[in-house]
Structure 1
Amino acid sequence: MPRLVVISNRVAVPKARGVPGAQGGLAGALNAALKANGGIWFGWSGEETDKFTGSINYVRSAEGVTTATIDLEHQDVEEYYNGYANSTLWPLFHYRIDLTRYEREFGKGYERVNERFAESALPLIEPEDSVWVHDYHLLPLGERLRSMSIENRMGFFLHTPWPPTNLFVSLPYHERLVRAMLHYDLLGFQNNTWLESFLHYCGKELGADVAPETGAVTLEGKTTIARAYPIGIDFDHFMSKGDTGEARQAQQRLMASTRRRTAMIGVDRLDYSKGLPERLDGISRFFDRHPERTRDLVFIQIAPPSREDIGSYQQIRATLEQKAGQINGARSDVDVVPVRYVNRGYAQEELFGFYRASKIGLVTPLRDGMNLVAKEYVAAQDPDDPGVLILSMFAGAAQQFDCDGEGALLINPHSADDIAHNIRIALDMPLEERKSRYEKLITSVREENVQRWTENFVGDLAGVER
């Protein structure tokens, strides 16, 4: 099997293992891929330097995963990361055109940093390696590497949604960006919805020859394959967290603090795509309709901060604090607080315990590529007394978790009525129905895991004809 070179914006360096927040969904997935295939993981260190040199920092973990990182200049971080990646592409890809900023300097910084990534990664790539690039930060990286005479098989996976054509064309130079993507041999998307949007764009705007049944996109004699590869969790690794003392302690801690009330949990980065204000509106609507149930239900929202230098993220934090305060001000008693808003992260062991102690998982993004919290919540449930997952129909996971209407409770996250209605259904759902729904969901989580995701993508990339 060829060695794997993974390239992503950030790298989870070995020293960060076990630190809360250090191992996100992407980090866990890529570590699993590298352990299985061997190779190297390259990206930005997260550190700034006065002058970019391209000097590479190497770290080798006890598990055999080598990481290689570079430092970026402050201007790079502002224009490439805070700017084009997270103030232009991120909101646009999550259908938030109202928050999308189109700044010429952002675009220049994005192109400059992709060039720097390519120049720095070039010496790491050996002739037989397969190169796997990740996410919206590095859409044009394949084209840059091709211009440097890299002929290796190269694949790209997008962890976010891909927006409809009528939204994507609002991006200046959108054609140039997609033409750059077509220098990869294989493009991966989280589900068929995002894949179909991409194929539609290629046919309508580029005039490419698109074969939807195979995902082949042919433009000017070059063919790229585009397919859906739903990402999963590292199931066995995550389940092992449940056997730890930290997980059991976290479970007991939450159960003891709720004092026989049903715990409902949400775990999300502090991001406008996660639908957190709308979620609190739905919870407020539930308590307005059922004030007598204030003593039956407590909602715990864990929301670690992210991208705090960006104004829209500062605003959402203030909004959440206000809404949580309003609910608690109206519904609290001396011994009852209906909403617990926690603005920090926790280790996976603790999250496992919190999930297990919560009889409702509330996952309501306005738009999400997949959403691995939904899968972790299901995995952590007690098979003999499982909780109920309430899931946004706009999360990528919804396509796997519908189960013909007998899996997760799918809701419209924009509707406070729909959220409130399904909270009541989940709260009153009998055990046999909870177990039936859980059994369908856990089968998907167990089988559609990160190892299968990796094997499918890497296997297809190895089979691409060049």
Structure 2
Amino acid sequence: MSRLVLISNRVAVPKARGAAGAQGGLAGALNAMLKKHGGIWFGWSGAETDAFTGALAVTRTDDVTIATIDLEPQDVEEYYNGYANSTLWPLFHYRIDLAQFHNEFGLGYERVNERFAQSVAPLIESDDLIWVHDYHLIPLGERLRSRGMKNRIGFFLHIPWPPTRLFVSLPFHERLVQTMLHYDLLGFQTDEWLDSFLNYCARELGAAVDYDTGRITHNGHTTVARAYPIGIDYNHLVAQSLSEQAKAAHFRIVESTRHRTAMIGVDRLDYSKGLPERIDAIGHFFDLYPEKARELVYIQIAPPSREDIHSYQKIRELLEQKAGQINGARSEVDMVPIRYVNRGYTLAELTGFYRACKIGLVTPLRDGMNLVAKEYVAAQDPDDPGVLILSRFAGAAVQLQDALLVNPYSVDDVAHAIHVALNMPLEERKMRWEKLSRSVREDNILRWTDRFVGDLETIAQGVLPA
């Protein structure tokens, strides 16, 4: 069995969402895959250095090696805050109005990908499988190839891939995609994002594309592109929901809401999550049903992220303003209709919160998958499950058809779904939850890792996956 080399912007470890940013379910599954194969996880440490040297900080546990590098402040500004999160992130989430196209951002992105290749290359053995993650490192496969590596290399994109008519607004878009075709296997969250990528390759590059198999042939190299919907660690999350910490969190919600119906949203503070639009929809719901302000409390947990980027500062200010306006108009001396919490919690605490809330409100404007929707489902009490309201523009909507699917841009649509959820009979709630739970349980994080690495191993054996 070949070793596995994981490469990502940051090396993830299981932590509370918001504490350091890493998702426990994904980190746990990738760590389990590394232990199974033996191997290396390489990425940026998150720390800065005055002068880049490529020096590695290495730790080893059992058969797993963790290796990190530090980056210069200019690298962080141009590669991370710049091209990754001010150019690619907004463009890939259909927010071309927020995308910034600066040459120095692109140069910094290229430079850091070269630095990643330079630093990780000495650690890689000839028969290793290499799995690169996400939009920060799109060109890395080509950088490794330029160093003579013949290894089988896979890449997974955790965010959406935009339609061709949007993507071509990116300067040097052809070059970026051409670097992707140096990978042997490309993974996308849904068939929609996959189809957008295949369409671009056929129309803009003139590549030979087999839409049935996902095979792309360009400049004599064949790449396979597939959809691999990511899941959660279902069994771990259910166990967390039954823990003492979860029970205490559940009690906090029930007691503090004075037995009003609780509705919850848990989102990183990001414009793609549709938080201002969501608050507007909740305000519209209270306008339509003013008596519900005493019966329903909405809890928004929104840990801050990327606070050095201006658009993220603005979204926080706007969200605080909108929540404050509704609370000012609808609050009484003994209650507020919206609780806005700008911090993170442990997974166990979140599962307790999910279980106590009879409505889960997950309404991103665009999302590659959205694991909060799946976490909410997994944490529910089978005998009295809550109702999931989910944006039809989240990747998870493809699998979770028995949620109440909504258009997050429509305050009427979201307000109507809240009204339906509040009045949904127990039998219908149970019927919907059982179908949702089956999907979340079966399409879990372990199946995702097994499918992707299994296909990469098949390619390594000289056979394109069927």
The normalised TM-score by structure 1 is 0.97
Question: Deviations for 1:144-189, whole angstroms, at most 9, x for unmatched residues?
Answer: 0000011100000000000000000000000000000000000000
Any conservation in 2 of the 1:235–1:379 contact (CA below 8 Å)? yes
Any conservation in 1 of the 2:141–2:179 contact (CA below 8 Å)? yes
Any conservation in 2 of the 1:304–1:344 contact (CA below 8 Å)? yes
How far did 1:124 drift? Answer: 1.1
Q: Counterpart of 2:450?
A: 455
Q: Counterpart of 1:89?
A: 88
Give the match's secondary structure for 1:98: coil
What is the CA–CA distance in structure 2 between the aligned matches of 1:93 and 1:37, rounded to whole Å? 33
What is the CA–CA distance in structure 2 between the aligned matches of 1:256 and 1:276, rounded to whole Å? 26
1:248-327 to 2 correspondences below 5 Å: 248-327=247-326
Any conservation in 1 of the 2:284–2:411 contact (CA below 8 Å)? yes
How far did 1:19 drift? Answer: 8.4
Aligned positions, number: 460
Q: Counterpart of 1:48?
A: 48
- Equivalent position amino acid for 1:297 in 2: L
Any conservation in 2 of the 1:80–1:107 contact (CA below 8 Å)? yes
The answer to which of 383-392 and 31-40 deviates more is 31-40
Any conservation in 2 of the 1:241–1:348 contact (CA below 8 Å)? yes
Q: Counterpart of 2:68?
A: 69
How far did 1:60 drift? Answer: 3.0
What is the CA–CA distance in structure 1 between the aligned matches of 2:9 and 2:325, rounded to whole Å? 38
**Shift in alpha-carbon separation, 1:101–1:183, aligned structure 2, 3 A:** same
Any conservation in 2 of the 1:94–1:367 contact (CA below 8 Å)? yes
- Over the matched positions of the two proteins, sequence identity in percent amounts to 71
- Residue 434, structure 1, aligned to residue 433, structure 2: no
Any conservation in 2 of the 1:304–1:345 contact (CA below 8 Å)? yes
Give the match's secondary structure for 1:397: helix
Question: Deviations for 1:283-318, whole angstroms, at most 9, x for unmatched residues?
Answer: 000000000111111000000000000000000000
What is the CA–CA distance in structure 2 between the aligned matches of 1:43 and 1:352, rounded to whole Å? 29
Q: Counterpart of 1:409?
A: 404
How far did 1:98 drift? Answer: 0.0
What is the CA–CA distance in structure 2 between the aligned matches of 1:18 and 1:307, rounded to whole Å? 14
What is the CA–CA distance in structure 2 between the aligned matches of 1:249 and 1:326, rounded to whole Å? 31
- Equivalent position amino acid for 1:431 in 2: L
**Which stretches in structure 2 are left out of the alignment for 5+ residues?**
none
Give the match's secondary structure for 2:345: coil
What is the CA–CA distance in structure 1 between the aligned matches of 2:416 and 2:54, rounded to whole Å? 54
What is the CA–CA distance in structure 1 between the aligned matches of 2:357 and 2:16, rounded to whole Å? 26
Any conservation in 1 of the 2:17–2:344 contact (CA below 8 Å)? no
**Which stretches in structure 1 are left out of the alignment for 5+ residues?**
none
Q: Counterpart of 1:149?
A: 148
- Residue 36, structure 1, aligned to residue 31, structure 2: no
- Equivalent position amino acid for 1:352 in 2: T
- Equivalent position amino acid for 2:253 in 1: L
- Equivalent position amino acid for 1:408 in 2: A
Q: Counterpart of 2:109?
A: 110
1:5-404 to 2 correspondences below 5 Å: 5-13=5-13, 20-24=19-23, 26-61=26-61, 65-402=64-401
Any conservation in 2 of the 1:32–1:234 contact (CA below 8 Å)? no
Any conservation in 2 of the 1:128–1:152 contact (CA below 8 Å)? yes
Any conservation in 2 of the 1:85–1:110 contact (CA below 8 Å)? yes
Q: Counterpart of 1:444?
A: 439
Give the match's secondary structure for 1:385: coil
Question: Deviations for 1:228-250, whole angstroms, at most 9, x for unmatched residues?
Answer: 00000011222221232111100
- Equivalent position amino acid for 2:389 in 1: I
The answer to which of 100-109 and 292-301 deviates more is 292-301
What is the CA–CA distance in structure 1 between the aligned matches of 2:339 and 2:28, rounded to whole Å? 28
How far did 1:347 drift? Answer: 0.5
Give the match's secondary structure for 2:383: coil
What is the CA–CA distance in structure 2 between the aligned matches of 1:267 and 1:13, rounded to whole Å? 20
Any conservation in 1 of the 2:246–2:350 contact (CA below 8 Å)? yes
How far did 1:2 drift? Answer: 1.2
The answer to which of 304-313 and 120-129 deviates more is 120-129
